[in-house]
Amino acid sequence: MTSTHPAVELTGLRKSFGPVTAVDGLDLTVHAGEVVAFLGPNGAGKTTTIDMLLGLARPDAGEVRLLGGTPADAVRYGRVAAVMQSGGLLKDLTVAETVRMTAHFFGRTRPVAEVLERAGIADLADRPVGKCSGGQQQRLRFALALLPDPDVMVLDEPTTGMDVEGRRDFWQAIRADARSGRTIIFATHYLDEADAYADRIVLVRQGRVVADGTTAEIKNLAAGRTVRATLPGADQAGLAALPGAETVEVRGDSVLIRTGDSDAVARHLLTRTAARDVEITSHNLEDAFLALTTAGGHPTAPAPALTAPATIGA
């Protein structure tokens, strides 16, 4: 799994469907061995970008390079594989039969027993696919993707249908593969997965990359903290006028204040009001996600971070 080229190079990608622009000048470089979370709201262009990366769709403009070649070359030689959300499974075949049949499409594959074990479904080898749960079928798709021992693996919502334990075991297997040099790019709606397992997070909005960096760097783009307190009859306007207060939200007897100066806000609440149960929390990945990808978010990072993302680690 070695290459002198980046694992993935997307340059100026554009793709429209009639009047709708799904991907709008997207640039992205991913290096070998990186585990990259590709995040964005619905309609951000994630799936369209993945389709172009895999050669399933042709860009209107721009270029896709996988390991220095075309997507077709990478697919032909088993250097890229994907775990998609649905499709491609014959319900009447057993799990093992499905893997053995798929193995015949490749010139060289890992042993069937090995990929079943790696995907955590060795005990399901004789079970018909139609009798497997949604999470178990996703594990089967993972096993199929492992067959050619690819250099790059693309995962589109890979843990859909899995329970908490299944998701944890799946990601442990993914991280083990990444340590061997495999490049992993995954799209997910589970932000805790991105926070826990990604080396790097790429956030997209309206077909463009709006932020690119480590989890800590992305979180820092939603700088500041939230002060929460119990304060019946809170004076929302008065709290909004406090130095450093950015937004104030009243929920019944509770008040939430987003602020760049949490100490000053907490001091005011404790000394000048009847507030109790005061808590101060740092912003998390969800806060950064909302701030950077939705019009209804509360971005507290400098505005240029939304339009001129730094490519960190590329």
Q: What sections of the chain are H helices per DSSP?
A: 46-53, 71-76, 95-103, 112-118, 134-146, 164-179, 191-197, 215-220, 236-240, 262-272, 285-293, 304-307
Q: Are 1 and 180 contacting, i.e. CB atoms less than 8 angstroms apart?
A: yes
Give the integer Cα–Cα distance in Å for 175 and 180: 9
Give the integer Cα–Cα distance in Å for 74 and 54: 9
Q: What is the pLDDT of residue 223?
A: 65
Q: What is the pLDDT of residue 283?
A: 72
Query: Scanning the structure block, which residue is given the tokens 């009243």?
Result: 250
Q: Are 309 and 211 contacting, i.e. CB atoms less than 8 angstroms apart?
A: yes
- The pLDDT tens digits of the residues spanning 57-83 come to 999 999 999 999 999 999 989 999 998
pLDDT, averaged in runs of 10, over the chain (314 residues) = 80 96 96 92 92 95 96 93 82 96 90 92 95 90 92 90 83 82 90 89 93 86 84 94 92 92 93 95 79 57 36 32
Q: What is the pLDDT of residue 2?
A: 52
Q: What architecture (CATH level 2) is domain 224-282?
A: 2-Layer Sandwich (3.30)
Q: What is the pLDDT of residue 306?
A: 36
- The pLDDT tens digits of the residues spanning 182-231 come to 999 999 888 888 988 899 999 999 999 999 999 888 877 766 788 999 99
Give the integer Cα–Cα distance in Å for 67 and 53: 11
Give the integer Cα–Cα distance in Å for 140 and 290: 33
Residues 6+ apart with CB under 8 A from 126: 94, 95, 96
Give domain 8-79+150-219's CATH superfamily: P-loop containing nucleotide triphosphate hydrolases (3.40.50.300)
The domain locations on the chain are 8-79+150-219, 224-282
* Model confidence pTM above 0.85: no
